Amino acid sequence: MTTRKMAPVEEQMRILLAGTEFGDEATRRVMTEELKKRLEEDRPLRVYAGFDPTRVDLHLGHTVPMRKMRDFQDLGHEVTFLIGSFTATIGDPTGRDKTRPVLTDAEIEANARTYTDQAFAVLDEGRTTIRYNAEWLSKLTFADVTRLTAHYTVQQFIRRENFAKRLDGGEPIHISEMLYAMMQAYDAWYLNADVQLGGTDQTFNLLAGRQLQEAMGQRPQVALTLPILVGTDGHEKMSKSYDNYIGITEEPRDMFGKVMSIPDSALAEYFTLVTPLRPDEVEAITADIEARRLPPMDAKKRLAAEIVTVFHSADAAADARDYFEATVQRRETPEEMAEYAMKERAPLAQTVVAAGLAASNGEVRRLVEQGAVLVNGERASDFALEVGPGDELRVGRHRFLRLVEG
């Protein structure tokens, strides 16, 4: 049986370190050196990232570690997609000021199925190992957990920014939350991981894994951390709470339009973190933008097409581009648009929400104030304006609706 020859180490390093963010130069230097040493062993590395199935719909921000996992896959390494079926029952405090609500087993199982289905838009399903950490964590005895806690100190945890903030504010910190990092560390030991991937908000947990592995006689894993993707507003992290997200199951035209709304300053970050382009390709695009050989608008169309192609297809990306150019750049009204049947005239906000073009009256009010809602080609100035059969609505840049009688 022949063993697949790995790519040259320097080539792998260039690809695998692209987009990584470590917080300080000392950590970057250590992780870079350790990764290089393992790659020089010329063998497939054991790589994993953990995902607690707390949501049923993912956005581009969730796919950042998946994209790096795919890089490892394409270079011939062994990738495990770890479902936090046990850790999801506790509540990770990472990046939160309060304890996360606990999910039921049924919710976790349903969410896990959705996660993996969506993740395979990025990962190669045939080369991905799916594991559930309840497989080993649920079997630990109280004595096992006690021995596990002996490897850590309370001081380590209360120095964490989110714990310190809650402590100063008099907010409760549950012992179970401290156990979360220890359980994630146990995952790393159980999987005998060479590399663990996570967001920069997971740095503490990844380093806790290194600490436990070393204490239990294993070579500590390389912790590769990735930045939190900025949302379409270019300022806050991508989140549904900020209404600046791009869902990976959104329709191609909606997805394309949302990508086109990101600021120019975020282009390089998006190309690096959420597309399959190699570092040299991203650098070439960035250089062309800086030298004004490539207009940012054209670069953004390339980015939008790359993203839509990943989650849909090249044909869908081409159609979405044509639709964007016609409806946004040339301001044409599409001949074909969704229809909404109504018996009588009703307030604009009520109609837009009922038709599914906005989540709430508050969102419609905000869009109207921004001048982003048009009725029959004219900007609406009153979100209570009555509309009815025969009217055509445009909400945002790329959502159109024809009201019909019915």
According to the model, what pLDDT value does residue 249 have? 92
Higher pLDDT, 305 or 158: 305
Q: Is residue 178 part of a domain?
A: yes
Please enumerate in sequence order all residues whose Cβ is within 8 A of that of 106, keeping only pairs 6 or more positions apart, or say none.
none
**What's the rounded mean pLDDT across residues 147-160?**
87
Q: Is residue 231 part of a domain?
A: no
**What's the rounded mean pLDDT across residues 39-51?**
96
Q: In terms of Cα–Cα distance, which of 161, 146, 179, 149 is closest to 97? A: 161
Among 226, 258, 287, identify where a domain stops. 226
Structure tokens, 112: 């896990």
Total number of domains constituting the chain: 3
Q: Is residue 235 part of a domain?
A: no
Please enumerate in sequence order all residues whose Cβ is within 8 A of that of 223, keeping only pairs 6 or more positions apart, or say none.
31, 195, 196, 198, 203, 206, 207, 209, 210
249 and 219: one domain?
A: no
Domain that includes residue 172, residue range = 9-226
Query: What CATH number does the domain containing 395 carry?
Result: 3.10.290.10
99 and 169: one domain?
A: yes
pLDDT at 332 over 90: no
Write the pLDDT tens digit of every residue in 348-403.
989 999 988 888 888 888 888 888 888 887 788 887 888 888 888 888 777 888 88
Q: Is residue 2 part of a domain?
A: no
Write the pLDDT tens digit of every residue in 62-87.
999 999 999 999 999 999 999 998 98
119 and 205: one domain?
A: yes
**pLDDT class for 1, splitting at 50, 70, 90?**
very low
**pLDDT class for 92, splitting at 50, 70, 90?**
low
Average pLDDT, the chain: 89
Beta bridge partners of 226: 199
Higher pLDDT, 100 or 313: 313
165 and 215: one domain?
A: yes
Among 282, 310, 329, identify where a domain stops. 329
Amino acid present at 314: A
Q: Is residue 25 part of a domain?
A: yes
According to the model, what pLDDT value does residue 254 have? 92
Quote the CA–CA distance of 370 and 362 in Å, as a whole number.
12
258 and 386: one domain?
A: no
Q: Is residue 269 part of a domain?
A: yes
DSSP letter at 336 equals S
Sheet of 46-51: strand order equals 128-132, 78-83, 46-51, 195-199, 222-226
259 and 128: one domain?
A: no
**pLDDT class for 31, splitting at 50, 70, 90?**
very high
DSSP letter at 87 equals G
30 and 139: one domain?
A: yes
pLDDT at 306 over 80: yes
According to the model, what pLDDT value does residue 161 have? 67
222 and 291: one domain?
A: no
Q: Is residue 344 part of a domain?
A: yes
220 and 276: one domain?
A: no
Whole-prediction pTM value?
A: 0.80
Among 276, 300, 329, identify where a domain stops. 329
Contact 59, 241 (CB under 8 A): no
Query: What CATH number does the domain containing 102 carry?
Result: 3.40.50.620
Query: What CATH number does the domain containing 317 carry?
Result: 1.10.240.10
277 and 213: one domain?
A: no
Q: Is residue 3 part of a domain?
A: no
318 and 344: one domain?
A: no
Quote the CA–CA distance of 250 and 229 in Å, as a whole number.
18
14 and 156: one domain?
A: yes
pLDDT at 225 over 80: yes
Write the pLDDT tens digit of every residue in 185-209.
999 999 999 999 999 988 989 999 9
Quote the CA–CA distance of 145 and 131 in Å, as a whole number.
21
pLDDT at 24 over 70: yes
Write the pLDDT tens digit of every residue in 253-285.
999 999 999 999 999 999 999 999 999 999 999
